[in-house]
Amino acid sequence: MTGHIAVTDDGGVRTIRMNRPEKKNALTLAMYLAMTNALREADQTGAVRCVLFAGGPDVFTAGNDLADFMKAADGGLDPRAHEFITSLARAQKPMVAAVNGVAVGLGTTMLLHCDYVVAGTGAKLMTPFLKLGLIPEAASTMLAPMRMGHARAFALLAMGRPLSAEEAKEAGLVNTVVSPAEVDGIALKAAQEIAALPSRALTLARSLMRLPLETILQRMETESGHYKDLLQSDEARAAFQAFFSRNQ
Ligand code: COA
């Protein structure tokens, strides 16, 4: 396990906490791998009944590490991010998210795979994919319009307009908005409530409520093909450079 991902099991709930505050929890390849392993292991561990994703008090995650994107623009895409994305789709155990502060890129699109989302009042969801010359991933091009309608999904995913916690709740992306200090506790309570449900019935109900796995995986593949191409485009390279040279 990497030091930037803390995995703890307690009372049927596995908490996967992103912990790289100095870089706003930007997701490195090692973090993706650790989260993928923690999710896969959760499925194989009977005692784990629900997974809880959490970040820090000021930030959920700044999304993919842009330094890794710059490397990918030159050397090709490492499969670890994609493996995490597909492991979200494949996960059998229900997933809860506790979101404080900004949730960027995958930080927002992963919420579409979660079953219950608690957000703090200051939370901000944003997906600047197009501004980076990329397209949205994690099957969000399919799941977001279904969840919130095309108009809202387009503003979020294509125009990169952020959603406040309240707007995200209104859009059906977030279940409840609470004070930042309460986020972790209320999310844990929800996860414990889910963990206490009869497990066979829970697994069945959850899988029946979701789109067929193959449909989701197919969309992820399609997005990923375009994503790989776009990562190597001049527009994307320029956007990554601009981020790192913004204070120079
Ligand atoms: N990848 C790599 N490093 C990142 C990062 C990312 N996605 N997001 C933030 N960081 C780093 C910054 O470079 C900075 O590092 P430094 O202190 O060594 O210079 C540090 O984290 C703090 O970030 P900063 O931008 O100063 O914090 P902020 O509170 O002003 O803004 C964000 C926070 C998340 C809004 C802003 O950092 C941002 O927009 N990040 C990029 C998000 C993004 O485009 N992600 C990819 C989505 S597909």
CATH of the domain at 10: 3.90.226.10
Residue nearest to atom 28 of ligand 1 (CA): 24
Q: Which of 234, 126, 220, 130 is nearest to 173 (CA)?
A: 126
**For residue 30, is it within any domain?**
yes
**For residue 93, is it within any domain?**
yes
**For residue 83, is it within any domain?**
yes
**For residue 241, is it within any domain?**
no
State the residue range of the domain holding 75: 5-178
pLDDT score of 54 more than 60: yes
Whole-structure pTM value:
0.97
Determine the average pLDDT of the residues in 145-157. Answer: 98
Number of domains in the chain: 1
**Token output for 185:** 């506790």
Q: Is the CB of 24 under 6 A from ligand 1?
A: yes
**For residue 72, is it within any domain?**
yes
Identify which of 18, 19, 20, 24 to mutate to test ligand 1's pocket (most ligand atoms within 8 A of the CB).
Answer: 24
**For residue 9, is it within any domain?**
yes
Q: How confident is residue 177, by pLDDT bands cut at 50, 70 and 90? A: very high
**For residue 184, is it within any domain?**
no
Task: Tell me the pLDDT tens digit for each residue of 83-97.
Answer: 999 999 999 999 999
**For residue 201, is it within any domain?**
no
